[in-house]
Structure 1
Amino acid sequence: MRKRHLVVALGLLGMLCVPAHAEARDISRETLPPNDGWAAAAGGTTGGAAADDAHVYTVTDRAGLVRALDGGSDTPKIIKIAGTIDANTDDDGNRLDCADYATDGYSLKKYLAAYDPRTWGAAKPSGPQEEARQASAARQAERVVLPVGSNTTIVGLGSKAVLKGGSLQVSNADNVIIRNLELRDAYDCFPVWQPNTGGLGDWKTAYDTLWLRGATHVWVDHITASDKGHPDEKEPTYFARNYLRHDGLLDITNGSDLVTVSWSRFADHDKAMLIGNGDTATGDRGKLRVTLHHNEFESVVQRAPRVRFGQVHLYNNRYVVPDDAHDYRYSVGVSTESAIHAENNAFHTPGHIEAADLVKNWNGTALHQSGTLFNGYPVDLLAIHNAYNSGSERDLTADVGWTPTLHTKIDSAEAADREVARGAGAGRTP
């Protein structure tokens, strides 16, 4: 008996002596694997892998994150985020809310009274309350806009790394990696009323959780992006329009190029991902080359993604529309000069949403699709779109003018669906 107890004790001792590095690998110096999407082209994407030890930071609050980002400098750097960082805090870490940013006499009540369409009309807001809104918005932007420079890697440590309320902005920068991080609730305290948008007017917000603007060679991997904490559907209605507080989860605009987004989760949001920000932005031609693979879009109303101009490879992604969805619009948006090559994606929707609802066309001409599963059954999205939307949208052809060559193994939609459900999002980095 004593021998058995000794064996058990030695076994427990061995478990306690397992080195810490065996529990979780350090991903901070990992680079994008070869051929893993568009970001692998033209030299690949290494982020801050070349950073010296003096430029490797572990940050736990906004002040530490701001120091590490160094104003968006190009110095190679690795930033490890531990725990939850709230961007809406002062330099001492005290929580700030919308009232703390309001200045020059701004109040929502006064703003609504000043620009009520019944008395103000359809003119663009101007005057004291709009000026006060702009000044207040500028104060919030100083806290929540976080510039990311070239040669930077940002990773979350462990399974619970969160950036809350911030807008990471990769602007005119090259060679950036963002991995294993939850980006949550980039909440705009001061939306602007735009009376001429969409015919009925609409509220416009300022912050994407992650915005690539003129960015090149970017790898986004195992992030979770959502409105968690402040869903727009629970916001009130003003001027007969939902008072939106969030913009995109991940927008890729202004000539950004060579981007791979993998194994990430986009959830509980209206306009998830915009690739190309304008029909007249002809300078985007030849750019906006983006690969989206093994991502999950759950409870997303639209833009998953919406594409202009870009060559976008969309493969092995999982789409989930919940049973109680009442405002779903579409998933894949085909817009001006877009060239989407969609392979082996899986869609799950309730009965009132049909396969014909999955694709929306605004002035697009082509969509390549193959291997699509819709509620477990194979469908041809192109044929269905042309058959059911011909009265309201132009027909699409299958010739998008290119064939992807940079990609990982493309699984069947059925196999990818299972793997993405298990493995996409922050805290699940392999």
Structure 2
Amino acid sequence: MRGRRGVQLAVVAGMLGLAFSAPAGAEARDISRDTLAPNDGWAAADGGTTGGSTADDAHVFTVRDRSELVRALDGGSATPKIIKIAGTIDANTDDDGDHLDCADYATDGYSTRKYLAAYDPRTWGSAKPSGPQEEARQASAARQAERIELTVGSNTTIVGLGDARNTAVLKGAGLQLKGANNVIIRNLELRDAYDCFPVWQPNTGGLGDWKTAYDNIWLRGATHVWIDHVTLSDQGHPDEKEPTHFGRNYLRHDGLLDITNASDLVTVSWSRFADHDKAMLIGNGDTATGDRGKLRVTLHHNEFESVVQRAPRVRFGQVHLYNNRYVVPAGAHDHRYSIGVSTESAIYAENNAFHTPGHIEAADLVKSWNGTALHQSGTLFNGYPVDLLAINNAYNSGSERDLTADVGWTPTLHTKIDSAATADRAVARGAGAGRIP
């Protein structure tokens, strides 16, 4: 189990810009059997999170390509297992290891050109797409999903083998934790869960939008999950470089990490979310009342850099958000908000630091839809203390979006909470894949 002294040493090393390494001739520490420390966020509740730490030797795998990874995942079985990822694994590959691109998945006559011609709102109108090209898109999307959606079962630990100079990478994949319990994902870079076949969703009140299918990691009804020292991004295919169709950016990515469908008891720590639009959704619908009492999530010592929105956006959940670092996009048009307060959410935000190199105002950091409460304390905005709640309410004075400070609960599952300034320096040096001391 990760000891408190190890955590303290990691923080100190991060602040000093240091990295631990094994002495010459010594073996590097095996992190694959680490378990979540007591009190380390919501995932430490009700017995804690141990992942595949009890796996026998026959269920410890080192994988180097998609086929090996699929075999190790064993169809999402609950058998305790440890999966170590070495090098770079591309999910968009066939059984022989050859790369697959969007043209390889397209079937039944699908093409982007034909799809755009068929559902142009100027001629198609505001009805939901239907007919041969939409059917061909669905069939093509199913072929890609078969390759890149990878199911992670209960009692599993997935770790990357590598350091900050040479991280383990899983690209193009969407890890699916559907109903899984007791999962650990650490020290891994996940990038570019690229959707070849976005669907057009008309809107009778406006232009509509493009919707994509894949998250780098998606928790649906998952419990006891610890995600630590991972890096998630769109690296390789940034959405900002995609074209505009029907007046909307042709998005290719959904979330980096989404926690939905009554998932519960999750800790996300020392991770980096970068260069993305919608980073993290906690709770997927205003009418999903089955989420009440669930979606208990702790986010600490994470970095959100150049994230446009959802860092996170929360519905229903009790979310402890502390000691995180935000570096928002430089242009005001590139940033919508950081913290989204939505239906029945209860966000307890402490000692987070925000950096805004452009013309972003503190009032742009919080946005509310049907939310009623936000606790915040110890916030730094470009090095100065601010009260995000007061700023939000002043900015929205007299509107239905005014928030109260009483979120109805007080976090207890944590050890030391540093000042925003101290955590800011530590996170800048210590968050992300390859940075576990």
Q: Is the shorter-chain TM-score for this pair beyond 0.5, marking a shared fold?
A: yes
Q: Contact conserved, 1:59 with 1:79, CA < 8 A, in 2?
A: yes
Could you tell me how far apart the structure 2 residues matched to 1:17 and 1:251 are?
39
Partner of 1:375 in structure 2?
A: 382
Q: Which SS does the other structure have where 1:105 is aligned?
A: coil
* 1:283 aligns with one of 259, 277, 290: 290
* 1:149 aligns with one of 124, 147, 153: 153
Partner of 1:165 in structure 2?
A: 172
Could you tell me how far apart the structure 2 residues matched to 1:391 and 1:300 are?
29
- Paired positions, count: 414
Could you tell me how far apart the structure 2 residues matched to 1:193 and 1:416 are?
42
- 1:15-69 alpha-carbon deviations (Å, 9 max, x no partner): x993331xx2110000000000000000000000010000000000000000000
Task: State yes or no: 1:110 paired with 2:110.
Answer: no
Q: Contact conserved, 2:159 with 2:188, CA < 8 A, in 1?
A: yes
Partner of 1:252 in structure 2?
A: 259
Seen in structure 2, the aligned counterparts of structure 1 residues 196 and 17 have a Cα distance that, compared at 3 Å, is closer
Task: State yes or no: 1:220 paired with 2:218.
Answer: no
Seen in structure 2, the aligned counterparts of structure 1 residues 93 and 385 have a Cα distance that, compared at 3 Å, is same
* 1:318 aligns with one of 325, 330, 333: 325
Q: Which SS does the other structure have where 1:304 is aligned?
A: coil
Q: Contact conserved, 2:126 with 2:204, CA < 8 A, in 1?
A: no
Deviation of 1:196 after TM superposition, in Å, equals 1.7
Partner of 1:132 in structure 2?
A: 136
Partner of 2:193 in structure 1?
A: 186
Deviation of 1:158 after TM superposition, in Å, equals 1.2
Q: Contact conserved, 1:264 with 1:296, CA < 8 A, in 2?
A: yes
Partner of 1:20 in structure 2?
A: 26
Partner of 2:13 in structure 1?
A: none
- 1:191-225 alpha-carbon deviations (Å, 9 max, x no partner): 00000287320000000000000000000000000
Task: State yes or no: 1:60 paired with 2:64.
Answer: yes
Partner of 1:423 in structure 2?
A: 430
Could you tell me how far apart the structure 2 residues matched to 1:19 and 1:233 are?
46
| Identical-pair percentage | 88
> What is the root-mean-square deviation in Å for CA atoms of aligned residues?
1.4
Amino acid of the residue matched to residue 152 of structure 1? T
Partner of 2:316 in structure 1?
A: 309
Could you tell me how far apart the structure 1 residues matched to 2:228 and 2:192 are?
19
Amino acid of the residue matched to residue 223 of structure 1? V
- 1:114-140 alpha-carbon deviations (Å, 9 max, x no partner): 000011000000000000000000000
Q: Contact conserved, 2:319 with 2:347, CA < 8 A, in 1?
A: yes
Task: State yes or no: 1:405 paired with 2:409.
Answer: no
Seen in structure 2, the aligned counterparts of structure 1 residues 17 and 30 have a Cα distance that, compared at 3 Å, is closer
- 1:100-122 alpha-carbon deviations (Å, 9 max, x no partner): 00000000000000000011000
Q: Contact conserved, 1:362 with 1:393, CA < 8 A, in 2?
A: no
Deviation of 1:325 after TM superposition, in Å, equals 5.4
Q: Which SS does the other structure have where 1:203 is aligned?
A: strand
Amino acid of the residue matched to residue 107 of structure 2? T
TM-score normalised to the size of structure 1? 0.95
- 1:161-183 alpha-carbon deviations (Å, 9 max, x no partner): 00000000100010000000000
Deviation of 1:407 after TM superposition, in Å, equals 1.1
Could you tell me how far apart the structure 2 residues matched to 1:392 and 1:265 are?
34
Deviation of 1:287 after TM superposition, in Å, equals 0.2
Amino acid of the residue matched to residue 223 of structure 2? T
Task: State yes or no: 1:385 paired with 2:392.
Answer: yes
Could you tell me how far apart the structure 2 residues matched to 1:143 and 1:351 are?
40
Seen in structure 2, the aligned counterparts of structure 1 residues 27 and 135 have a Cα distance that, compared at 3 Å, is same
Seen in structure 2, the aligned counterparts of structure 1 residues 379 and 114 have a Cα distance that, compared at 3 Å, is same
Q: Contact conserved, 2:375 with 2:406, CA < 8 A, in 1?
A: yes
Could you tell me how far apart the structure 1 residues matched to 2:175 and 2:207 are?
31
Partner of 1:5 in structure 2?
A: none
Q: Contact conserved, 2:172 with 2:191, CA < 8 A, in 1?
A: yes
Seen in structure 2, the aligned counterparts of structure 1 residues 358 and 153 have a Cα distance that, compared at 3 Å, is same
Deviation of 1:229 after TM superposition, in Å, equals 0.3
Amino acid of the residue matched to residue 346 of structure 2? A
Q: Contact conserved, 1:356 with 1:388, CA < 8 A, in 2?
A: yes
- 1:318-360 alpha-carbon deviations (Å, 9 max, x no partner): 0001434532000000000000000000000034110011000
Partner of 1:51 in structure 2?
A: 55
Seen in structure 2, the aligned counterparts of structure 1 residues 429 and 148 have a Cα distance that, compared at 3 Å, is same
Amino acid of the residue matched to residue 56 of structure 1? V
Could you tell me how far apart the structure 1 residues matched to 2:210 and 2:328 are?
24
Q: Which SS does the other structure have where 1:319 is aligned?
A: strand
Could you tell me how far apart the structure 2 residues matched to 1:429 and 1:261 are?
14
- 1:359-388 alpha-carbon deviations (Å, 9 max, x no partner): 000000000000000000000000000001
Could you tell me how far apart the structure 2 residues matched to 1:49 and 1:112 are?
49
Deviation of 1:390 after TM superposition, in Å, equals 2.5
Q: Which SS does the other structure have where 2:32 is aligned?
A: coil
Could you tell me how far apart the structure 2 residues matched to 1:198 and 1:96 are?
38
Q: Contact conserved, 1:361 with 1:393, CA < 8 A, in 2?
A: no
Could you tell me how far apart the structure 2 residues matched to 1:367 and 1:301 are?
20
Partner of 1:72 in structure 2?
A: 76
Q: Contact conserved, 1:299 with 1:325, CA < 8 A, in 2?
A: no
For structure 1, which segment, 56-65 or 188-197, has the greater mean C-alpha deviation from structure 2 after superposition? 188-197
Q: Which SS does the other structure have where 1:79 is aligned?
A: strand
Amino acid of the residue matched to residue 246 of structure 1? H
Seen in structure 2, the aligned counterparts of structure 1 residues 90 and 197 have a Cα distance that, compared at 3 Å, is farther
Could you tell me how far apart the structure 1 residues matched to 2:333 and 2:399 are?
22
